[in-house]
Structure 1
Amino acid sequence: MQVVKNYLYNVFYQLLTVLAPLITMTYLSHVLGASGMGVQAWTNSIVSYFLLFATLGITLYGQREIAYVRDDVALQNRRFWEIQILHTLVSLVSIALYILFVYSMRNVPGEFSQNNHQLYLQTWVIVSGLLDISWYFMGLEDFKKTVIRNSLVKIAMVILIFLVVKSPADVNRYILLLALTQVVGNVTMWFYIPGKVKLPKINTLNLRRHLLPTIGLFIPTIATQVYLQLNKTMLPLFQNSAIDSAAFYENADKIVKVSLALVTAMGTVMLPRVANYFSKGNMKAVNKAIYLSMDFVTALAIPLMFGMIALGPKTTIWYMGANFLPAGWTISLLAPIVLFIAWSNVIGTQYLMPINRTKDFTISVTVGAVVNILLNFITIPLWGLYGAAIATVISEAAVTLYQFWVVRYDLSFAKLFSGVWKYFVSGMVMFIVLIIMTTHMAATPARSVIQIVVGVVIYFGLTILLRANYIGNVKKFVTEHFKK
């Protein structure tokens, strides 16, 4: 039952994390315009590389390490302080390097000189990373605290955006507001630490033992970040300062992430659980959890993918305005990554990471990063915004295919993909109906809601008729955990 609760908590928070900007997106698209939103998206992509160095792979590593020792309070306390002190030191170095970088780029023609002040404002994003200790609570499988505190902060952020951002001249306020709400959200988590985590004697702390493992996880994190952020960074640079394209890509990416929140939340919840099974040598429980998770996320990812392909362009027209239609077509192009990331989240985050096969995970995301970089240099000059989306989809497919390859002898593909055809058949039928509906219906909020409801009814109705695996698995899973 704990896994169910944690999944629901994490889904709620992940959805709120991406829904908060979605709620404000239609407002900001009219107030700031594509140019103002593009400045925020582009400068945030730059600071994200330094934030990446500041976190040093600690989010996944810390979560796993706390899960390993959660039954030993003294060791748990020591692990927390060792990891967090290391995190703080690296973050301070990253802040210094970022400020130096921004200062050195102040006279470079183009986006760097035009948006130099905005780049300085983004420094607070790295500060928020320094203060982030959510990995500790996730390692303990205590998701409630993280969800409640940060949810309140996200809600406050939405309210403040409507109160503070009133015109295109307020782009600096918008950037600062987004960064500071992250800082406040992470600070609130520290109020739970006094009395819960004791500081051991300084001479018992060993920071060095964590350095190499975190660097090992830092490499795949770099690779992942490359194809998450590089597109937004490169688009304006490759298209004669067309910073609007960064806004189109950013908005499309945010909408796709709403769907991803549903499928990747399971990975965040299952990582500490599978790590705990692995630490006890219970590989049978590990594999069983993976098969169940794979079926569950596939059942969710397929309708979300087909739904976004069908509804993306028309929904964008009424949601953000006709000027943002390129973002709508980008949503349709990016939609397949929902399925690829769902599968790689199960194999990579839920299996390879908890059983300490970091090397395989690292290579997989490195392959994706290399593919993305090479394709960007070809597809962005050729097709611009749409080329960036195509490169991202191919990159995610490469990651997933490599991960399947490295587990081919460890997991049964027959069990991983048992009954997947039923989800694809149901999804295709839903897709065809939605395409017909969007072709003959105007783009309005009410009609988009009708289309979504019809799609949901068709998909889940067909999966029930076909007796898809998730129905029996969910019943069995809930029954077993309620008995406990």
Structure 2
Amino acid sequence: MQVAKNYLYTAAYQLLNIIAPLITMPYLARVLGRNGVGVASWTNSFVTYFLLIASLGIITYGSREIAYVKDNKQARQQKFWEIQIIHTIAGIFSLALYFLFLKYGVQLNGNIEDNQFYLILQTWVIISGILDISWYFMGMEDFKKTVLRNAFVKIAMTVLIFVLVKTPKDIGNYILLLGLSQVFGNLSMWFYLFKKISLPNWQQLDLKEHVKPIFMMFLPTIATQVYLQLNKTMLPFFTNSTDSAGFYDNADRIIKVSLALVTSVGTVMLPRMSAQFAKGQFDKMKQNITQSMDFVSALSVPMAFGMAAIAPTAMIWFLGEQFKVVGQVIVLLSPIIIFIGWSTVIGTQYLVPTKRLNEFTLSVTIGALANVLLNFWLIYVAGVNGAAVATTISEFLVIGYQLYVTRKDMNVWHHFSEMWRYIIAGLGMYILVTMISQHLEINIKSTSIELVLGVFVYVLILLILRAPILKKIPLLNKIAK
């Protein structure tokens, strides 16, 4: 019951994450233009690397460690302060590095010098990372507070975008708004925290205990962020324009909208799986993995096929003719919805809770190295489309390695025993939507029709094929019978 409730909270917030960009993205595309969107995306890609140093992968590590001792108040309190002190030290170090980058980075590239003011405004993103203690509440499986906080921040930010961003000159307002909203949102969580714990016994703090495992968790976080951000960072260097970074960022954001509901499973299940591992409940863990993989596949396959079908035309009316290329990029990125969905289950839900960090680290490192190497070639050859292909190949390699290293723990092929049903249903939906789109005008009404028909066809084919996932949905289960 608790897992279901946490998933509903998280899914509700992810639904808000879907709605908010759908409201603001077309507005920002038209107000800031392709150059403004590109500048905001490109400068943010730089600060993300320093945010990574400030965060140290503590979101995942911290929530896992709190989950281990959630029933022991004193141990939980000590662990929180030990981890947060390391977090703060890393954040201060990261800020120092960022200021050095701002001072000497202008000598590296003209684009850095031209956009130094916007890079300075991005400093607030690092500060927000230092204040982020959401990992504590995740470890306690108290997703309600985190979700409500994030929802309030998201709604407030959406409203303020329309109030403060009105011309192409308001790029600074937009960047500052994104940073400060995260700062105030993370700061608000501290008020909840002080009701749960008090100051620690300073003499008994043991920071050394966490240094090695945090570092081990930091490595996969670095690797992950490299191939999430490197594309946007590299594109202007190869294409001589920040516009390409904006194209890729918009496509990536829309893909992440689809991923939101899928990855919620891993976020919710991590503390539960960590607790089961601590208690030696391995059979329950394997059962949860099987169920999660089936659920994620049932969601991710139609999202990937559906996104590929509607994006080429939908992006024209959604973002404007000048962002037409975004639709092509989304088609090339759409498979990662499936790949990341699977890796969220195997990596975040199994390898991390069972402390197999070396294998988890290596999986994302393989993806990062592949992405870097492929970027140099594919971005040069195909620009932003090449960056999308590089990302898709990298994500495939990540999940491929994770499945390989867990093959002796679980029957890997059992994970995909029902996959053929979802693939057939997804292909049927894709073919129908693609055919219909050729005969409809390019507008929101046409896209809505395509979406409704696509969902209907996907569910209908699953009913015909009697997919087991339908048993978990009472109404559809009755129809299937």
Alignment TM-score, normalising by the size of structure 1:
0.97
Letter in 1 for 2:40: Q
Map 1:51-450 onto structure 2 (within 5 A): 51-240=51-240, 242-450=241-449
Alignment partner, residue 471 of structure 2? 472
- Looking at structure 2, the residues matched to 77 and 277 of structure 1 have their Cα atoms a distance apart, in angstroms, of 21
Contact 1:275/1:355 (<8 A) preserved? yes
- Looking at structure 2, the residues matched to 84 and 474 of structure 1 have their Cα atoms a distance apart, in angstroms, of 41
Letter in 2 for 1:251: N
Deviations 1:22-73 (A, max 9, x none): 3211011111001001000000000000000110111100010001110111
Letter in 1 for 2:330: I
Contact 2:18/2:258 (<8 A) preserved? no
Q: How many angstroms does 1:323 deviate by?
A: 0.7
Contact 1:131/1:187 (<8 A) preserved? yes
Q: How many angstroms does 1:473 deviate by?
A: 4.6
- Looking at structure 2, the residues matched to 76 and 473 of structure 1 have their Cα atoms a distance apart, in angstroms, of 36
- Looking at structure 1, the residues matched to 417 and 39 of structure 2 have their Cα atoms a distance apart, in angstroms, of 46
- Looking at structure 2, the residues matched to 90 and 332 of structure 1 have their Cα atoms a distance apart, in angstroms, of 38
Q: How many angstroms does 1:466 deviate by?
A: 1.2
Letter in 2 for 1:13: Y
- Looking at structure 2, the residues matched to 284 and 194 of structure 1 have their Cα atoms a distance apart, in angstroms, of 37
Q: How many angstroms does 1:474 deviate by?
A: 5.5
- Looking at structure 1, the residues matched to 170 and 195 of structure 2 have their Cα atoms a distance apart, in angstroms, of 42
Contact 1:18/1:254 (<8 A) preserved? no
- Looking at structure 1, the residues matched to 328 and 8 of structure 2 have their Cα atoms a distance apart, in angstroms, of 31
Alignment partner, residue 457 of structure 2? 458
- Looking at structure 1, the residues matched to 105 and 317 of structure 2 have their Cα atoms a distance apart, in angstroms, of 39
Letter in 2 for 1:239: T
- Looking at structure 1, the residues matched to 108 and 365 of structure 2 have their Cα atoms a distance apart, in angstroms, of 30
Letter in 1 for 2:412: F
Unpaired stretches in structure 2, ≥5 consecutive residues: none
Larger deviation: 460-469 or 380-389? 460-469
- Looking at structure 1, the residues matched to 92 and 104 of structure 2 have their Cα atoms a distance apart, in angstroms, of 19
Letter in 1 for 2:174: Y
1:11 paired to 2:35: no
Q: How many angstroms does 1:16 deviate by?
A: 2.4
Letter in 2 for 1:347: I
Deviations 1:281-319 (A, max 9, x none): 010000000000000000000000000111011110110
Larger deviation: 91-100 or 464-473? 464-473
Q: How many angstroms does 1:235 deviate by?
A: 0.2
Alignment partner, residue 47 of structure 2? 47
**Share of identical aligned residues, percent?**
53
Larger deviation: 192-201 or 401-410? 192-201
Letter in 2 for 1:159: V
Contact 1:256/1:335 (<8 A) preserved? yes
Q: How many angstroms does 1:107 deviate by?
A: 4.1
Partner of 1:71, secondary structure, is coil
Partner of 1:266, secondary structure, is helix
Letter in 1 for 2:111: E
- Looking at structure 2, the residues matched to 15 and 122 of structure 1 have their Cα atoms a distance apart, in angstroms, of 26
- Looking at structure 2, the residues matched to 295 and 189 of structure 1 have their Cα atoms a distance apart, in angstroms, of 34
Contact 2:273/2:285 (<8 A) preserved? yes
Q: How many angstroms does 1:100 deviate by?
A: 1.2
Contact 1:292/1:473 (<8 A) preserved? no
Letter in 2 for 1:26: P
Contact 2:347/2:402 (<8 A) preserved? yes
Q: How many angstroms does 1:415 deviate by?
A: 2.3
Deviations 1:345-390 (A, max 9, x none): 1110111011111111000000000000000000000000000000
Letter in 2 for 1:256: I
Larger deviation: 439-448 or 366-375? 439-448
Unpaired stretches in structure 1, ≥5 consecutive residues: 479-484
Letter in 1 for 2:115: N
Letter in 1 for 2:254: I
Number of residue pairs aligned between Structure 1 and Structure 2: 475
- Looking at structure 1, the residues matched to 305 and 109 of structure 2 have their Cα atoms a distance apart, in angstroms, of 42
Letter in 2 for 1:430: M
- Looking at structure 2, the residues matched to 247 and 137 of structure 1 have their Cα atoms a distance apart, in angstroms, of 34
Alignment partner, residue 31 of structure 1? 31
- Looking at structure 1, the residues matched to 303 and 32 of structure 2 have their Cα atoms a distance apart, in angstroms, of 29
Letter in 2 for 1:54: A
**Residues 205 and 124 of structure 1, relative CA distance in 2, 3 Å threshold:** same
Contact 1:231/1:376 (<8 A) preserved? yes
- Looking at structure 2, the residues matched to 202 and 353 of structure 1 have their Cα atoms a distance apart, in angstroms, of 29
Q: How many angstroms does 1:434 deviate by?
A: 0.5
Partner of 1:11, secondary structure, is helix
Letter in 1 for 2:216: G
Letter in 2 for 1:78: Q
Contact 2:38/2:246 (<8 A) preserved? yes
Letter in 1 for 2:316: I
Larger deviation: 16-25 or 346-355? 16-25
Contact 2:371/2:391 (<8 A) preserved? yes
Contact 1:69/1:75 (<8 A) preserved? yes
- Looking at structure 2, the residues matched to 349 and 360 of structure 1 have their Cα atoms a distance apart, in angstroms, of 12
Q: How many angstroms does 1:255 deviate by?
A: 0.4
Q: How many angstroms does 1:198 deviate by?
A: 1.6
Contact 1:316/1:327 (<8 A) preserved? yes
Q: How many angstroms does 1:108 deviate by?
A: 3.9
Deviations 1:176-210 (A, max 9, x none): 00111111111111110112112121001111111
